[in-house]
Amino acid sequence: MRVASLIGGGLVCLVVLVAVFASQIAPGDPAAMVARPMLPLFSPGHLFGTDQFGRDVLAGVVHGARISLLVGVAAALATLGLGTAVGLAAGFLGGFADAVAMRVTEAFQTVPTFLLALALCGVMGASLTTIVVAIAIASWPLSARLVRGEVLRLRTLEYVDAARMAGLRPLSIALTVVMPGALVPVAALFGVTVGEAILVESALSFLGLGDPNVFSWGAMVANGRTLMRTAPAVALLPGMAIAVTVLGISLLGDRFATRQRPS
């Protein structure tokens, strides 16, 4: 467990560093057609070679890290924010509001997350913002149900009763007394959600529904796919980047989730 989380932490650190220093590692626009097309791996000045339009693959991979992390973190925050708000309201208000909120989450959970995100992106048009919004809309129900469950458990505990008897208003009890406790499992969900969001963004870009103005890993794999027989590295390298990033995040997330579990 410890080793796994160390490896996960290392991978995540590596990806974050690459994203932060992308412009130092590979200056300029990764979409620029800078060299002769189809240079092989380890060409001088183009370590990962170039694709069929002469775009530097290394530049695409390091700048892609920014896009993936940006989308992953933004989508996870949006997902968990939406889920927490709904879950907190449902758990605290109870009754009719709770029933409605839970039926809505069930309705959403019957549709596979990716298909829903795909449909939303198709309707709203392709940009990073719509991808983040689509992922959040498609995946908030899990965290909403989790938070609601925690709220239902916590509100029966003595310290909440104590707060109520101390004369705190219901809203303050919800936000200052119950919510901190309910957020613990949500925090454990954060890593998983980031990883899933990165995968969804990659898949959307692979299908051509990504933002055409940014150079993302999914789009690079889609572009390189036609070259699989002649220059496999063009598709494999960004594909490996996706795999490494998601693996790192989920190893680290698992560790975090186990630590949060009450022993």
Partner 1 sequence: MTFALSRRTLLASTAAVALPSWLRVPAAFAQTKGGTLVVAADTEPRSLNPAIVASNGVFYVASKVVEPLAEMDYQTGLRPLLARSWDASDDGLSFTIHLREGVTWHDGEPFTAADVAFSAMEVWKPLQNLGRVVFKDLETVDTPDDHTAILRFAVPTPGQLIENALPALTSVLPKHVYADGDIAENPANLEPIGTGPFKFAEHKPGEFYRLVRNEDYWEEGKPYLDEIVYRVLPDASAKSAAIETGEIDLTAFSAVPLTDLARLEATDGVTVIPGGYEGITYDLTVEINHRNPILANVDVRKAIAHAIDRNFIVDVIFLGYARAATGLVPASAEAFYTDDVTLYDFDPAAAEALLDEAGYPRGSDGTRFSVSLRPAPWFNESRAAGDYVKQALQRVGIAVELVSADPGGHIKAVYTDHDFDLAIGTPVWRNDPAISTTVLYQGGLPPGVPFANQYGYDSAEMNELIAAGASEVDPAARVAIYADMQRLAADELPLLPLVEFTFTTVARERVQNVANNPRWATSGWADVWLDA
Residues lying near partner 1 in the complex (CB under 8 A) are found at: 29, 31-33, 37, 52-54, 122, 125-126, 208-209, 212-213, 225-230
Question: Smallest distance, Å, CB 34 to partner 1?
Answer: 10
Residues 6+ apart with CB under 8 A from 149: 87, 91
Tokens of 130: 């719509």
- To which H or E segment does residue 144 belong? helix 128-154
Pick 150 or 211: Cβ nearer partner 1: 211
Nearest to partner 1 of 227, 247 (CB atom): 227
- Closest to partner 1 by CB, 91 vs 218, is 218
Residues 240 and 221: their CA atoms lie apart, in Å, by: 10
The nearest distance, CB 167 to partner 1, in angstroms, is: 56
- Minimal distance, residue 130 CB to partner 1, in Å: 12
* Minimum distance from residue 128 beta carbon to partner 1 (Å): 12
The smaller minimum CB distance to partner 1, of residues 157 and 228, is found at 228
Rounded Cα distance, 238 and 151, in Å: 41
Nearest to 107, CA basis, from 77, 144, 78: 144
Spatial separation of the C-alpha atoms in residues 217 and 33, rounded to whole Å: 17
Minimum distance of partner 1 from residue 208's CB (angstroms)? 7
**Continuous H helices in the chain:** 2-20, 22-25, 57-93, 95-109, 113-124, 128-154, 158-165, 170-172, 179-206, 217-225, 233-260
Q: What contacts 241, CB < 8 A, 6 or more positions away?
A: 15, 61, 64, 65, 68, 217
Q: Of 63 and 145, which CB lies nearer to partner 1 in the complex structure?
A: 63
Closest approach of Cβ 168 to partner 1, in Å? 51
User: Which of residues 213 and 263 has its CB atom nearest to partner 1 in the complex?
Assistant: 213
CA-CA distance, 253 to 188, in Å (whole number)? 7
* Nearest-angstrom CA–CA distance, 228 and 1: 36
Task: Round to whole Å and give the CA distance between 135 and 142.
Answer: 13
By C-beta, is 226 or 260 nearer to partner 1? 226
Q: How far is the CB of 140 from partner 1 (least distance, A)?
A: 26
